[in-house]
Structure 1
Amino acid sequence: MITIGLTGWSDHDTLYASASKHKLEDYAGNFPMVEVDTSFYAIPSPSTTERWVERTPEEFSFVVKAFQAMTKHKEWQQYYDSETEMYRRFMDAIAPMSEQGRLKAILFQFPPYFGCTRENVNYLRMLREKMGDLPLSIEFRNKTWYTENTTTKTLELLRELGFIHTVVDEPQVGNGSVPIVLKATNDAMTLIRLHGRNSAGWMKANSPEWREVRTLYRYNEEEINYWAENIRYLQKQSKEIIVIFNNNSGGDAADNAKHLQQALNISYEGLAPMQMNLFDI
């Protein structure tokens, strides 16, 4: 099974009816899954996630990004009275999705300074304890996890803890990015995130214009076919492959995802009804 989606549902103008006020519904008429990235910046309320579930078809699913203090981008003390409270609120937020079978995975995207150290290995073990048996996908942004000496051990650790390996396509810029590693660590699922290959934009992560340039990239036909082959290869290792296009800066993600869907000859049933345009008859 191959499930294709995008990061967020608000930045893909080609998917919406004119002046649409129902972007999530429009999105769900095109793709069967979405990555919720707003949860990285603020944990949503359960009532909010419940509305997302209610507004989408039963077959529609969510990959939810872990809150930024859960992935060491920030300190939990900046937001909550205790670490326990932070995790409780996140668990409450995902409950409406999880209880109704609509949660594909929780994505833990770690920062470039989260390197392969004993302390960070212990943190990953702690995460599994705190999150129970929920499906957790791990994405590294530090190359020390994938050196000649560490790659095998990294994958063994992820498998031991039942983590889903996140395979990434991103610019190769020093230690602040990781290579493509086509290995599954979970028999049920592997996650692929395609960030584009804009090296100059990737390096501007902390600049004011980062949102406009960081993932400004459009995959060409050769690159789409390359990933179609990679996906077929990974299908031999996991029952489901989740593919997320994150090249949103120039509005290319939706078109690239449709292109990949065609390359893999995939069609989805159970999508939301398409919203009517003002001048549709």
Structure 2
Amino acid sequence: MKAVAIQRFGAPEGLAVIDLPEPRPAQGQVLVCVEAAGVGGLDALAVRGDLAGYGLREGHVPGSEVAGTVAAVGQGVDASWVGRRVWALTGRGGGYAEQALAAEEEVVPLPPGLSAAGAVTLGGSGAVAHFGLARAGLAPGASVLVRGASGSIGIAAVQLAARAGAASVAVTASSAERGARLRELGATSVLDRSGAGEGPTGFDAVVDVVAGPDLPSFLARLNPNGRLVAVGIVGGMPPTDFGSALISGFLKSVSYASLSLDTVPAAERGRVAAGQFADAVRGELRTVVHEEMPLEQAVRAHTAMAAGEVFGRVVLRP
């Protein structure tokens, strides 16, 4: 089968189309004929070589979530999955391919009316946004900041915070055009990447997709009892001494937390994804697809992400 693998860590040009044997589902697994693979932040980190702690090696196939039709199941898996359209998390990768394997507990049926591209745009990102906002203590009337709101996680977080009754939903965005699009999705004010602009000066909850060197300045803008939750590191690692910003805010009882879907039970992830898929079909959540590209254009997809050109999610189609 056709797949895209990392031949050389670093730049997107290290990706290449290769031929691999067709995978066979092991016990507890399903085999998905891929209609769409999401291109996400985890995949970008893998391509850059920033996931050394995960044991990734050259030859790794990125792609942590896919949507398509179940073609086969392994031992112990309900055979009724075969022929059903599903969304699935594939673990550390394997989705940039014509076929991908996933554990049965990571598979969620797709409702009629939701496209494969919409599923991989909302599925993992919507779950991250949901659990990130919960960990940040989102409550009606809160002031919320979504930092790095132009990606699929941020777009989901903006919509979820707005419909949960947040008093204000500020976002950081790199351009006025992006800010206008985020306002259409529920943002009430737009700041630049540094946090400057018209809007609240303090926040009860911050969902941060970026991290990077500016993280301490956003910790400093937390209100008393405010919490910043890091759900991504697309801007790189924060300064090694960023904890000093927390100590500086000691009298305000501010806190920092991180959120990885790896720590959320699969059943909970699936429940949230299924609910959000139903919301999307009803028009209560929007899935923003930046562009659908052939699998062979994975280099172009990652180049666009690295250049900050993507609003929403790029989707690869085998």
Looking at secondary structure, tell me which structure has more strand per residue.
Answer: 2
Looking at secondary structure, tell me which structure has more helix per residue.
Answer: 1
TM-score by length of 1: 0.31
TM-score by length of 2: 0.28
Q: Which has the higher contact order (CA 8 A, sep 6+)?
A: 1
Larger radius of gyration: 2
